[in-house]
């Protein structure tokens, strides 16, 4: 747990720091990089695309190689969308309250 300048407790996720976590399953281990933001950033998607592309280059099975390449392309599309999203301001305005007819 971290503290800000005012002495308030803040989690690592709230500070915007990037941390790494390793998840292991029956199929192997995967390293996951996350930032403190709820939405993944463009750089995180680009990093994952590069990792998947490297896996594709090392893969000998053609079907698995194609799957890694497809996943890498999908992460590149996510990176492009994240870039567009970062340049867009979304404002939600609460709609006016509607009067309901009572029966």
Residues 6+ apart with CB under 8 A from 45: 75, 76, 78, 79, 82
pLDDT tens for residues 3-28? Answer: 445 444 444 444 444 455 555 555 55
Residues 6+ apart with CB under 8 A from 39: 82, 85
Collapsed DSSP state (helix, strand, coil) of residue 9? strand
Domain parsing of the chain, residue ranges: 13-86
pLDDT tens for residues 87-98? Answer: 887 778 888 888
pLDDT recorded at residue 29: 60
């Amino acid at each position: 747990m971290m503290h800000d300048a005012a002495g308030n407790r803040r989690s690592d996720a709230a500070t915007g720091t990037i941390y790494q976590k390793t998840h292991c399953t029956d199929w192997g281990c995967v390293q996951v990089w996350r930032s403190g933001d709820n939405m993944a950033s463009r750089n995180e998607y680009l990093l994952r695309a590069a990792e998947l592309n490297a896996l594709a280059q090392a893969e000998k099975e053609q079907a698995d190689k194609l799957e890694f390449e497809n996943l890498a392309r999908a992460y590149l599309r996510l990176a492009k969308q994240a870039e567009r999203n970062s340049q867009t301001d979304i404002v939600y305005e609460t709609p006016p309250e509607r009067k309901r007819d009572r029966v």
